Amino acid sequence: MSVTLADIEAAARRIAGVAVRTPVLESPALNERTGARVLIKAETLQRVGAFKFRGAYNRLSQLTPDERTRGVVAFSSGNHAQGVALAARLLDMPAIIVIPSDAPAVKVAATRGYGAEIRFYDRAGEDREAIAADLAQQRGAIIVPAFDDPHIIAGQGTVGLEIADQAAALGTSIDLVVGPVGGGGLMSGVGLATRARHPAARIVGIEPSGFDDTRRSLAAGERMGAPPAARSLCDALESPMPGRLTFPILQRTLSDVLTVTDAEVAEAMRYAFEVLKLVVEPGGSAPLAALLAGKLEVEGRVAAIILSGGNVDPDLFRRVLARET
């Protein structure tokens, strides 16, 4: 089961008027610094503070009345949890979220705030997939994967459609699209949409150092697991392996995958604070980090940079501002 442009266009119709059509922002200061025209796709301004709402709403809105009664289960380090929780509330169905006990408190509180039931698990000692499967079986609920699902991918792909439409409305066209890669849901959707609209565009995924499973998988031509790694500052991008569905799409659509260090990510968060006046979480800053570190060849180009989320614990944000990370 693959995903087509038509699926993404259908997702765009489903989420219209529910998801925020996030703006494309431009910073003259950033344009001057990079020598590029940088279109900042601010998914930080999306409902739940991250693009994840798009995929979740696209998935949940297609459940049958019977399925809606039984509800949904999701496991997530944070933003997917919030996306599913809010989509479930808007569609009036129950949701249980299986969430690591060390997830950012702001994400846990928000998920609970949307009315979802929370089931914590120990990241080191428990298997979240098994917990979710048990819960789903007990309650007859539907498991909503974070990325490896065609409806999720199609929903996230609406980010790419919007970028293409917004660039056209500005009288320009995209040479380059850059977004973060965890499991690959966002960039497989964005890749499909961008390939369809701008066949010649470069499409670049960004992974945190130590979690470059997609980069290595693409190099090997098959899905490779990440080695045991220290934690990354980018909690949202700590995926162990690209998905079964996302990987072949990423193979077809991505031009390149680059990595960024925690220090580069922290620097990007400070730049977003000081210059762009935007709150961006670590994983959401990865594309900006690559741009500011000079890893993207953008001079003279029109580059869309996806700031994918803004859910960062105040305490971590304070430490980043104080250069204590």
Q: Where in the sequence numbering do the catalytic residues fall?
A: 52, 308
Cβ at position 43, least distance to its own copies in Å: 10
120 binds its own copies (CB under 8 A): no
Which of 6, 16, 29, 219 binds its own copies (CB under 8 A)? It is 29
209 binds its own copies (CB under 8 A): no
131 binds its own copies (CB under 8 A): no
Which of 26, 122, 127, 222 binds its own copies (CB under 8 A)? It is 26
Cβ at position 88, least distance to its own copies in Å: 15
Query: Is residue 171 left, alpha or beta, with left meaning phi > 0 and alpha meaning psi from -120 to 50?
Result: left
Which of 8, 49, 158, 224 binds its own copies (CB under 8 A)? It is 49
Cβ at position 148, least distance to its own copies in Å: 27
246 or 311: CB nearest its own copies: 311
133 binds its own copies (CB under 8 A): no
Binding range to its own copies, per CB under 8 A, among 42-50, 149-157, 229-237, 295-303 = 42-50
Binding range to its own copies, per CB under 8 A, among 5-13, 43-51, 116-124, 172-180 = 43-51
Give 5-18 as a DSSP string: HHHHHHHHHHHTTT
314 binds its own copies (CB under 8 A): yes
Which of 38, 187, 279, 303 binds its own copies (CB under 8 A)? It is 279
Pair type for strands 72-75 and 176-180: unpaired
- Alpha carbon distance 59, 88 (integer Å): 10
- Alpha carbon distance 286, 236 (integer Å): 11
Give 11-39 as a DSSP string: HHHHHTTTS--PPEE--HHHHHHHTSEEE
50 or 153: CB nearest its own copies: 50
Gyration radius of the chain over CA positions: 18
28 or 228: CB nearest its own copies: 28
Cβ at position 14, least distance to its own copies in Å: 16
Collect all residues with Cβ–Cβ distance below 8 Å to 87 and sequence separation of at least 6.
Answer: 53, 56, 57, 59, 60, 61
Which of 27, 61, 209, 261 binds its own copies (CB under 8 A)? It is 27
- Alpha carbon distance 315, 45 (integer Å): 21
Tell which positions 244-273 bind its own copies, by CB under 8 A. Answer: 270, 273
105 binds its own copies (CB under 8 A): no
CA–CA–CA angle 298, 233, 174 (5° rounding): 20
Q: Is 98 helix (H, G, I), strand (E, B) or coil?
A: strand
CA–CA–CA angle 237, 238, 241 (5° rounding): 100
Pair type for strands 176-180 and 202-208: parallel
Which of 127, 129, 274, 297 binds its own copies (CB under 8 A)? It is 274
Q: Is 318 exposed, middle or buried (0-12, 13-18, 19+ CB in 10 A)?
A: exposed
143 or 321: CB nearest its own copies: 321
